[in-house]
Structure 1
Amino acid sequence: MNRLSFIWGIALVSLTLSALGCGGGSSNGDDSTLSESTVEEAPVTEPEVSPTDTAEAPAEAPAESERPRFVAPVRGVAEVAYLAPDTEVIDGEVVTKIRIQNRATGAIAGLKVDEFWYDSDGNSLGGDSQRVRQPLLVGEITTIELRIPRSSRMNRNNYSFSHANGEIKATQVDELPDPVEEEAEEAEEAESES
């Protein structure tokens, strides 16, 4: 009998606390809520606008073409090109940097690179996995850095590419265009046209 009374008591306290926590009761007896009674109305004043501010306002507003827009990601097999990975040992860690370019027809969402290390007998020693957080647009180049603690048994490694909506067909190339130069060329072309 004591257990049943104890359970009913706990249930009643829980129900009361959840009702009060969800706004089920008012302590002063009227129909106003806490948010209505504590809000004070401040007078609304219009900001002062100087003539120089109005001239700069259109320049600061983003143009229609600069607005963020949704880019449909590639589904299924996507193509990427990558440079030979640059692997070096830094402070007891094996650091591998891979430059990857999107050569698919659309953006690649959730590009993921897995690195696996093996010893001379073919036994797995572990590895690292990194994901590109933002969609990789068509022609865009990114660098992924993979880290793993150094082991004296490390002999060879292997890479696996994938993305959120399917597989990746990766091709190793000798050279990728420098993205900084491309942006500079586009800016020069835009200046010469105007």
Structure 2
Amino acid sequence: MINSKKDYLYYLNADRIALGKPEYSFFHGVKEYLKIDLIWKFQRLLRKSEYYKNVKSKQSFIGKVSYIIIKRRFKSKSLELGFSIPENVFGPGLAILHYGTIIINDAVRIGKNCRIHACVNIGTSGGKEGAPIIGDNVYIGPGAKIYGEILIPNNCAIAANAAVEKTFFNEGMVLGGVPAKEIGKVDIKRIIKHI
């Protein structure tokens, strides 16, 4: 969770690396402005909104007003891209690969270096409050559904269209099928190359 300006800058840099963006320079800034990478813009707004919510809004009235303005911009960009992603869910190193429907409950917690595709739904099950806790270095394929009070360990890959509704304990596994089961081992560094 972002609890300081240092955390904010760390999260932004980790997300930039995860998305394969070069370090900022004037030339790169102009290129980005002309290209308009909507996902990178969304992720920067997500982190800025988290920073203002967790830090700035607690420091001053101006911080609270600034947070409201940033939150509105964040919500607008979320609607434009089809994302329903609340603040303070993802650790550093988030890589959203495509815009399209991504729905995540605000009780979900996801570790660092998550790589996520479109049409993913992560949330609670059957009106219960418990939500998934997903470890570090997890790849979530297109159309995956992850729900309930479950744990997903580090270094796993969730296959496209998998329905994960139970806890898994073995790291480095591919989870796939409906309902999901361990279908093989994975070297996550081959999928999430920046770790």
Greater Rg by CA = 1
Greater strand proportion: 1
Higher relative contact order by CA 8 Å / sep ≥ 6: 1 or 2? 1
Higher helix share: 2
Q: TM-score, normalised by structure 1?
A: 0.22
